[in-house]
Amino acid sequence: MMDEPAVFEYKIGLLAPSRVGKSTLIASLLTEGQQQLAQDSSVHLLTADRPTKHRLGATYNLVSGALKARMFEPGLVRSTSDPSWFRLLLEARGQDLRIRFDILDYPGAWLEGAGEGTEDERKWNECEAFLADSSVLIVPIDSVLLMDSGDDHAHLLTSHLSVFQINQAVLRWAKNRRELSGEPAMIVFCPVKCETYLSDSGSLKDHAGALRDKVVDQFSDVLRTVRDAAPHAAVRYLPIDTFGCVELVSARWIRAQGAPGGEMLMPKYRVRPPGRIVRKGLDDLLTLLCRQLVDTARAQSERATAARQTAALHSRGYAELREGFFRDLWLNFNGERDRRRHTAATDERLFAMSQRTTQSLFDVLTALAGRESGPRLHHLS
């Protein structure tokens, strides 16, 4: 038992309607996360099981293969029709310490209702419970919809962005987090497909300020919900490129039955030569996640250490308690004293292990805190 690494398990929830890019974001978190964290000496990221490895491998092969064949399309990754789980491990280098985090991918339209009384609804209830229980909530937002919908269609934005449904899910999450106020909580608003609007990824225009203002404006109710229901939660804003090498050519509204207002926005993209994937913002997201998860684990470990210290002190006191000459003789004779001392030694060992884990987490956190955040990251609280 002494040799087994300490494992902390957490959930990361993604909250977005269909076709925003949840699956792509999850896949890029690991594939590029591994490369970026390789330069860091404190932690490294790996898949926790074979299904996750295969799932991410399939997405990587699909995107890279198409890019090499010059057939790159932004909508390359097929949308999700059934929920799937991604399990990743954050390992502290040189320490027996692992943080496992699970990410759930699900059909985005379930956010707006999965059909009353159906099997899909039952499954969505499981997904909702996962989201509400997440330590970190990421809200990917379609930046093309925000920035290129035009004034004529501004009134349709709220429903196309599913702001109401996101607010409902955030409320449930925030209430859950308030009950666990001893644990750190964080929500990250991540506009995706941002390469067209931010100059640091090669665009000639810089609309960073306008993009942030629009996110804050559209999601003002969601921000208020977080502040009211979970005031201790950290709120961050971080725009992310989806592929980095694509640029929006045009976006026009077309008639579409079933879409809010009977219309939908159809974007067209082109590949920027040389067509190499460089996703800006992803490194900051990874650092944020790592810091948050390590901090959460540290808080949990500190609580466990305090509890084990109390247990160790109590069992040592009980083991050495003098209960009178004849009673002490009897305790020594029947082996009870040895049993008590053995229990005390076990509790002290557990306390020492817990102390070491807390110290290791603190060291990793200190190392991660040294990583500089990029200019895209903003605090919204």
311 lines the binding site for other proteins (CB under 8 A): no
Whether residue 332 contacts residue 322, with contact meaning beta carbons closer than 8 Å, is answered with no
Number of helices followed by number of strands (H, E) in the chain: 11, 10
* Site membership for other proteins, residue 80 (CB under 8 A): yes
209/258 with CB nearer other proteins: 258
The residue type found at 55 is: R
For residue 221, what are the β-bridge partners?
none
Q: How far is the CB of 107 from other proteins (least distance, A)?
A: 5
Q: Which is nearer to other proteins, 271 or 311 (CB)?
A: 271
Which residues touch 352 (CB under 8 Å, ≥6 apart)?
A: none
Q: Which is closer to other proteins, CB of 109 or CB of 352? A: 109
What type of residue sits at position 299? A
Among 7, 58, 71, 369, binds other proteins (CB under 8 A): 58
Report the residue from 78, 333, 372, 379 that binds other proteins according to the rule CB under 8 A. Answer: 78
Under rule CB under 8 A, which residues in 248-267 are in contact with other proteins? 256-260, 264-267
Distance separating the N- and C-terminal Cα atoms of the chain: 42
Least separation in angstroms between CB 242 and other proteins = 10
Q: Which is nearer to other proteins, 230 or 248 (CB)?
A: 248
- What is the footprint of other proteins within residues 94-153 (CB under 8 A)? 107-110, 112, 115, 118-120, 122-123
Distance CA 114, CA 182 (A): 34
Q: How far is the CB of 85 from other proteins (least distance, A)?
A: 8
Among 34, 36, 44, 83, binds other proteins (CB under 8 A): 83
Query: Strands of 136-142's sheet, edge to edge?
Result: 43-47, 84-92, 97-105, 6-14, 136-142, 186-192, 234-237, 378-379
Task: Specify which residues 247 forms β-bridges with.
Answer: 270
Q: Applying CB under 8 A, what is the total number of residues that bind other proteins?
A: 49
| Smallest separation, CB 216 to other proteins (Å) | 23
Shortest separation between residue 311's beta carbon and other proteins, angstroms: 38
Tokens of 175: 């209430």
**Shortest Cβ 380–other proteins spacing (Å):** 25
Rounded Cα gap, residues 299 and 274, in angstroms: 45
Place of tokens 């502040």: 227
Considering the rule CB under 8 A, would residue 81 count as an interface residue with other proteins? Answer: yes
Please state the length of the chain.
381
User: Position of tokens 């629009």?
Assistant: 214
Q: List all residues 6 or more positions away from 260 whose beta carbon is below 8 Å from its beta carbon.
A: 156, 159, 160
Q: Minimum CB separation from other proteins for residue 125, in Å?
A: 12
Residue with tokens 């209960």: 323
- Binding other proteins (rule: CB under 8 A), the pick from 84, 168, 343, 359 is 84
Q: How far is the CB of 352 from other proteins (least distance, A)?
A: 36
Q: How far is the CB of 27 from other proteins (least distance, A)?
A: 12
Q: Which is nearer to other proteins, 160 or 308 (CB)?
A: 160
Minimum CB separation from other proteins for residue 39, in Å? 28
Q: Which residues 1-30 are close enough to bind other proteins by CB under 8 A?
A: 17-20
When asked if residue 69 is in the footprint of other proteins (CB under 8 A), the reply is: no
Please give the Cα distance from 17 to 98 (Å, whole number).
32
- Reduce the secondary structure of 31-60 to three states and give it as a string: HHHHHHHHCCCCEEEEECCHHHHHHHHHHH
- Region near other proteins per CB under 8 A, out of 36-44, 50-58, 289-297, 341-349: 50-58
Q: Which is nearer to other proteins, 3 or 119 (CB)?
A: 119
Q: Is 73 in the site for other proteins (CB under 8 A)?
A: yes
> Angle at which helices 208-218 and 220-229 pack, to 10 degrees?
60
Q: How far is CA 350 from the centre of its chain?
A: 30
Q: Return the percent helix, strand and coil in the chain, to nearest 5.
A: 50, 20, 30
Q: Which of 12, 37, 77, 234 binds other proteins (CB under 8 A)?
A: 77
Residues that bind other proteins in the complex, under the rule CB under 8 A: 17-20, 49-51, 54-55, 57-59, 61-62, 73-85, 107-110, 112, 115, 118-120, 122-123, 160, 256-260, 264-268
